[in-house]
Chains A and B, each alone.
Chain A
Amino acid sequence: MSPPGDVPVRLLKHPGPVAAQRWDSMACARSRAFRFSLIPGRSLYDGIVNAMTAAGVSAAALTLTGGVFARVEYCLAAPRVGRPQVAGYTDPESMSGPIGLIGASATLGLDVEGRLMVHCHALLADPDGQLFGGHVIPAASIVGAVPPVVFARAFEGAAIRQRYDAETVMSIFHPAQPGEGSMRTSSEGLHVS
């Protein structure tokens, strides 16, 4: 604990050029809302993508609550020797369940290849009730017997895209730019224009 102003706020110098525009944003007047449960035994990724694909959604902001994971893989962010980024993902930690989901936020969008991608940060509790959390790896985190509930707000079309960001040297979700293209059709026949 520190008195106000004791610790200076230090900005970080990132490896790439500093963009003049400091945020990209979009506001949507008509947004569909959804509620669904993840699927016991399947990954966090599968549960979100299964439900959102059924609704024809490829861009959404999601809030997750309750439920149990059987296994969670997650990373933190810290400086990594030999890498240009000011902070990169640590090597994944694997936690065995039952793991309680206290709360999480996630974004659904399209990755640089045009495939559905989930970005999720979660607060979790281990079998002893100790809190932990971080950047959860959606495809490697498996839902347990009691599935978390998800509330989703959807954006029309391919509104959220992963894009290479020269400033941070990372590929990051952004609001889609005009003409950025639509979703790559998957083998399941998903079409989102």
Chain B
Amino acid sequence: MSPDLSTPPDGADIPLPPDAAPESGHTGRILYARVRPNEDLVQTIEKLCLQHGFAHAVVRGSLGSLSQCCLELHTGARVDVPGPAVEMLTLMGEVRTEGGAPQARISGTVADPVGRIFAGRFVPGRNPVCITFEINLEEWLVDSPIA
């Protein structure tokens, strides 16, 4: 029996990619950083990868506060959350280097100063650290492609 592959709502018959093997890799170094105020959360994660030579990374348990927060929703709409401070509650994502500089794509949940909860993807350049941010990255090392 063929697996139940989800299809777009218009029912279009999407062909499976010919080379469907997933990327194979393993965890390398672990990084811990304390980021000081006014630095951008997303860009600092990218700079940390440049500094330490991480081409790819997984964002692990990271916590701290933002002066203000800008989230992009799945629709592309943006939500600006005023602070200070906006507390980071959960954070997940990855850093990828695809023929250039590392690019961080991270999403999560935050609480504003009166406790309202917001979620989305953190927009680069629009999420300045308030008091501190502790960042934890795991290097992702891609194995040589199978010949």
Contacts and interface: CB of A to CB of B under 8 A. Distances in A.
Contact of B131 (A85, A93, A160): A85
A17 B142 CA distance: 42
Interface residues of B, number: 58
Contacts, number: 199
A119 B65 CA distance: 12
Contact of B32 (A29, A159, A170): A159
B132 A7 contact: no
Contact of B88 (A61, A107, A121): A121
B37 A2 contact: no
A87 B85 contact: yes
A167 to B, nearest CB: 7
A172 B34 contact: yes
Nearest to A104: B90
Interface string A35-69: 00000000000000000000000000111100000
Contact of A76 (B30, B87, B139): B87
Interface string B36-56: 111100001001100110100
Interface of B: 28-39, 44, 47-48, 51-52, 54, 60-65, 67-68, 70, 77-80, 82-85, 87-91, 109, 111-115, 117, 125-126, 128, 130-132, 134-136, 138-139
9 contacts: A2-B80, A27-B54, A28-B32, A29-B28, A31-B30, A77-B131, A87-B85, A106-B63, A165-B132
List 7 tightest A-B contacts by C-beta distance, closest first: A105-B61, A25-B33, A77-B85, A61-B136, A78-B113, A87-B85, A123-B89
